[in-house]
Chains A and B, each alone.
Chain A
Amino acid sequence: MLRSSQPLTGPNRKRCREDEMLLGMVLDEGERGFIIDTRSAQAAKQARMTGGGTEPKSSYPQWRRLHRPLERGRPLQESFIKLVEACNDTSINMDRWLSRLESCRWLSHVKAALSTACLAAQCMDREEASVLVGRGADGTDTTRLVTALAQVILDPSCRTLVGFQGLLEREWIEAGHPFHLRCARSAYSHARLKQEAPLFLLFLDCVWQLSRQFPFSLEFSEHLLLTLFDNAYASAYGTFLCNNEKERCLCKVKESTHSLWAWLNQPGEKKKYLNPLYSPNALVIWPSVEPQSIQLWQGLFFRWIRSSQYLDEAWAEIQRLVQGN
């Protein structure tokens, strides 16, 4: 699986031998690859007018392109803000709750992200084909969401506590997801910053959906996901600071702050983040993306609104049963 930004084909259909060679080298003779473009076909066409575009079929003959538009940027942030507002609105009747939920579109985004990640995974696992996920202007946001999720689906080692942290480091932190810009003020701020977008939260939500559908397959619990969400926005640790490795070097993050992972992995702390039902599952986990299967992440969106006492008690009981054994 590869990640990239869009090729700068432009209106004149420019070509680049090196790029074609690079993509050609990924595939063996006769092999096939898929390019999953996270823009709609129309948006991709329009991008050409401004210097971007898509890989022309003739120059990249072994690669087939599929479009799976994913929301990003402002609309995603708006979706998040609206959802949080809806969750906090005590005046909504049951008559209108579902349509209000629908109008936020958040769950549609979760469905789309999961579907696309599953598609990428399916290409690799069933078709044994390589996949290139692109694009957006800078190829950082939605592509990352897809590649990271696809790995959780495909790779059992990414589902362990250590493996998941590694995935986050690799796909989000080192790869340069601009946390500082994207996770600036969250849902309550009136500031509506241009660069803010909850891509990381969307990723965590998708992972939570997986944990719900496969309760035995992830080594970590919901508590870890909530902690990651918290720390992406505001943290006592330096792990999610800045926008990329370069900035972190400049700010000397490693020298002047503590790492979240170091703290999480301490034996005393670690057990809070483990899933008592975990049992290593070497298979690929294929979630259902039907609307009935995708649920609102109550643990996050209703965290401060409703008591989690009864659910906590249930988990404590599960823990007790499993440990007693």
Chain B
Amino acid sequence: VENVRLLDRLSSRKAALGTLYLTATHVIFVENVSETRKETWVLHSQISSIEKQATTATGCPLLIRCKNFQVIQLVIPQERDCHDVYISLIRLARPVKYEELYCFSFNPKLDKEEREQGWKLVDLNEEYNRMGIPNNYWQISDVNRDYGVCDSYPTEVYVPKSATAHIIVGSSKFRSRRRFPALSYYCKDNNASICRSSQPLSGFSARCLEDEQMLQAIRKANPGSDFIYVVDTRPKLNAMANRAAGKGYENEDNYSNIKFQFIGIENIHVMRNSLQKMLEVCELKSPSMSDFLWGLENSGWLKHIKAIMDAGIFIAKAVAEEGVSVLVHCSDGWDRTAQVCSVASLLLDPYYRTMKGFMVLIEKDWVSFGHKFNHRYGNLDGDPKEISPVIDQFIECVWQLMEQFPCAFEFNERFLIHIQHHIYSCQFGNFLCNSQKERRELKIQERTYSLWAHLWKNRADYLNPLYRSDHSQTQGTLRPQMAPCNFLYKFWSGMYNRFEKGLHPRQSVTDYLMAVKEETQQLEEELEALGERLANLQKSQLNDNKVKCKQQDRSKQLGLSTSDNSLANTPQEYSNDLKSFPSRSPSQGDEDDSALILTQDNLKSSDPDLSANSDQESGVEDLSCRSPSGGGCLPSEDSGKDSDEAVFLA
């Protein structure tokens, strides 16, 4: 469709005119401006909702909201065209079959072996070995090898040595969705462990010998403690209500040596609404500080993040400080349980704070343990009530921790943002379907590519320059301040306002420090090489020519690195041309960097939004529209009689 306008969310005057294309996998807007022909690409999988707004004199507006929080506003001149686009997008954004998803057509031009290698990058067996299993207390069980016991669990589960197949099967019959207690994390220093399951089908008075034996087995696997914690991550009221439906929670009287604890985290519906409300705050035009803070509080979002974090902290403390094992569950054991177990693991074990370790953590607690990616993130069209930002919340917990402990993580914010992006993008096969069983049936590994391999290949972009594996902050358990700490939870504008460049610090400290680090490393290598040559020179005669050549190489090399450095920390040429400011346009690329234009090739080999923090220019804020006096720019006696003034102030 031609003559479509792409509006800037914050300033409706800054509209770009161009052509809109719909392909099998993307919506593409290409600007008419011939020098740049800037492109905006949106994957259909990313589309969360499409809103057709009332036709105005200028055309028919269409608002596209994405799961990665990008909001695109188009104005299509003809109502009929707008309607066609709307209908098409509705269909395209709601695929019915897996084969419609991008990952089945995505081609990064790797051969079959490379694809396989990519999938092998993260190996959970290796991970459990790293933890120290199997050992005297824990072993691998193949009781679920054909998914016969629990179809949402992996084929390989780790259980206490004393848990026989009979006990496991018996316990699984007493658990919601058959999700029996299984190992998530084992701490070899003190034998404490974190196990996870779903709720017991205890109703008001039902009991199950094997389930009780299972919990005993977990306790016995930790000789250092004579009890285990059972943590129910639901609010007490919800758990009690479940009893009426024949489910519920563990009765301390029936299970010997458990200490039961509720740590209330709300359910998926509350979280879905919370995010919705928060995004509405983000969409406010020129909000006051008041509007923003009230709106944010009203959404309850940060409160929920803190609840998840607090639960993780409780469990980490139990394991690290008390040396007591913990069994965690919620209702079905695939949402809050996953969040809480992975936060706790991250706090406990520095390995999960490395890039590789983090990938392993997600594979372990989310992918292998059957988190319902398809239902939660809408790979396919499904029940809207199943949609919920569960893993988004976990990813935000990690970011909050990164802000509190800047040296403790090997990876940076961009890593988290790209992972979130790809959970929704369906460009890679890792996060498809609802369980390992479904993924194997679809032969995901043979037909799609692994995100982990892609991220690993580009890992230089994701490093945290402040991380040093020998730094004190990276050792051992992380201990976030418990209270008072409300203020420690910040609004993550890097994620929820990701595409609004004007909001973020214009200069990326991360990129600059990485460049500095690299240059230092290069110089040190230089120094070493020169030192060696000097030693050689002193030993034997070298002819003049050779030495001269080396010198030339060195200066070329230095020249290259210094210019990279200056790119990284010197803002671009400042001009009066409005166009060259970092507009708050919802496009995905940095308009001044042609390498970031999203061509098909680029998308296949790199991630869409590479410029989240690299915008160097100090741009103009159209400030008068954000005056504290609210909507209008000027009080009536001064209102724009002078047209020049109106232009700059309005």
Interface residues, chain A, with chain B CB atoms under 8 Å away: 32, 40-41, 64-69, 87, 89-90, 92-99, 101-102, 105, 107-108, 111-112, 115, 118-119, 122, 126-127, 212-217, 277, 279, 281, 283-296, 298, 301-302, 305-307, 310-311, 313-314, 317-318, 321-322, 324-325
A325 partner residues in chain B, CB cutoff 8 A: 516-517, 519-520, 523
Say how far A212's CB is from chain B's closest CB, in angstroms.
Answer: 7
What are the 5 A-B residue pairs with the smallest beta carbon separation, nearest first? Answer: A291-B292, A314-B406, A98-B297, A102-B293, A97-B486
A105 partner residues in chain B, CB cutoff 8 A: 289
Contact A64 B638 (CB under 8 A): yes
Contact A321 B287 (CB under 8 A): no
Q: A90-B484, A102-B289, A118-B621 are in contact. Are A214 and B406 (CB under 8 A)?
A: no
Say how far A239's CB is from chain B's closest CB, in angstroms.
Answer: 31
B267 at the interface (CB under 8 A from A): no
Contact A293 B404 (CB under 8 A): no
Contact B516 A322 (CB under 8 A): yes
* Among A66, A102, A213, A283, contact of B505 (Cβ-Cβ < 8 Å): A213
* Among A97, A115, A296, A314, contact of B628 (Cβ-Cβ < 8 Å): A115
B254 partner residues in chain A, CB cutoff 8 A: none
Q: A90-B484, A306-B481 are in contact. Are A98 and B619 (CB under 8 A)?
A: no
Residue on A with the closest CB to B293? A102
B21 at the interface (CB under 8 A from A): no
Say how far A287's CB is from chain B's closest CB, in angstroms.
Answer: 7
Residue of B302, B491, B506, B570 with highest tally of chain A CB at under 10 A: B506
A317 partner residues in chain B, CB cutoff 8 A: 406-407, 466, 468, 471
B288 partner residues in chain A, CB cutoff 8 A: 108, 111, 291
Contact A122 B638 (CB under 8 A): no
Contact A217 B507 (CB under 8 A): yes
Contact A292 B571 (CB under 8 A): no
* Among A289, A292, A313, contact of B471 (Cβ-Cβ < 8 Å): A313
Say how far B17's CB is from chain A's closest CB, in angstroms.
Answer: 25
Contact A324 B628 (CB under 8 A): no
Contact A99 B293 (CB under 8 A): yes
A288–B501 CA distance with the chains assembled, in angstroms = 10
Residues 511-545 of B, flagged 1 when their CB comes within 8 A of A and 0 if not, give 01100110110010000000000000000000000
B502 at the interface (CB under 8 A from A): yes
A126–B574 CA distance with the chains assembled, in angstroms = 12
Residue of B468, B569, B571, B637 with highest tally of chain A CB at under 10 A: B571
Contact B621 A296 (CB under 8 A): no
A317–B505 CA distance with the chains assembled, in angstroms = 20
Contact B629 A69 (CB under 8 A): yes
19 additional contacts (CB under 8 A) given A279-B569, A290-B626, A291-B288: A64-B638, A66-B649, A97-B297, A111-B289, A122-B623, A126-B620, A126-B648, A127-B644, A215-B507, A283-B617, A286-B618, A286-B621, A289-B623, A289-B626, A290-B502, A293-B504, A310-B473, A314-B466, A325-B520
Contact B294 A99 (CB under 8 A): yes
Contact A288 B502 (CB under 8 A): yes
Q: A68-B628, A288-B503, A310-B407 are in contact. Are A92 and B486 (CB under 8 A)?
A: yes
Residue on B with the closest CB to A293? B503
B621 partner residues in chain A, CB cutoff 8 A: 118, 122, 286-289
Say how far A144's CB is from chain B's closest CB, in angstroms.
Answer: 19
Say how far A79's CB is from chain B's closest CB, in angstroms.
Answer: 12
Residues 38-56 of B, flagged 1 when their CB comes within 8 A of A and 0 if not, give 0000000000000000000
B216 at the interface (CB under 8 A from A): no
Say how far A45's CB is from chain B's closest CB, in angstroms.
Answer: 10
Q: A94-B303, A119-B623 are in contact. Are A284 and B574 (CB under 8 A)?
A: yes
Say how far A223's CB is from chain B's closest CB, in angstroms.
Answer: 17
Q: A293-B503, A310-B405 are in contact. Are A87 and B487 (CB under 8 A)?
A: yes
Contact A64 B290 (CB under 8 A): no
B303 partner residues in chain A, CB cutoff 8 A: 93-95
Contact B626 A321 (CB under 8 A): no
A286–B282 CA distance with the chains assembled, in angstroms = 21
Contact B576 A126 (CB under 8 A): yes
B551 at the interface (CB under 8 A from A): no
What are 14 A-B pairs with beta-carbon distances under 8 A? A64-B645, A98-B296, A99-B294, A102-B289, A108-B288, A214-B505, A214-B507, A215-B507, A281-B571, A294-B289, A296-B487, A310-B406, A317-B471, A321-B513
A134–B297 CA distance with the chains assembled, in angstroms = 36
Q: A90-B484, A98-B293 are in contact. Are A311 and B406 (CB under 8 A)?
A: yes
A216–B303 CA distance with the chains assembled, in angstroms = 33
B626 partner residues in chain A, CB cutoff 8 A: 115, 289-290
* Among B473, B503, B619, contact of A292 (Cβ-Cβ < 8 Å): B503
B126 at the interface (CB under 8 A from A): no
Contact A98 B623 (CB under 8 A): no
Q: A69-B628, A310-B406, A314-B406 are in contact. Are A321 and B465 (CB under 8 A)?
A: yes
Say how far B487's CB is from chain A's closest CB, in angstroms.
Answer: 6
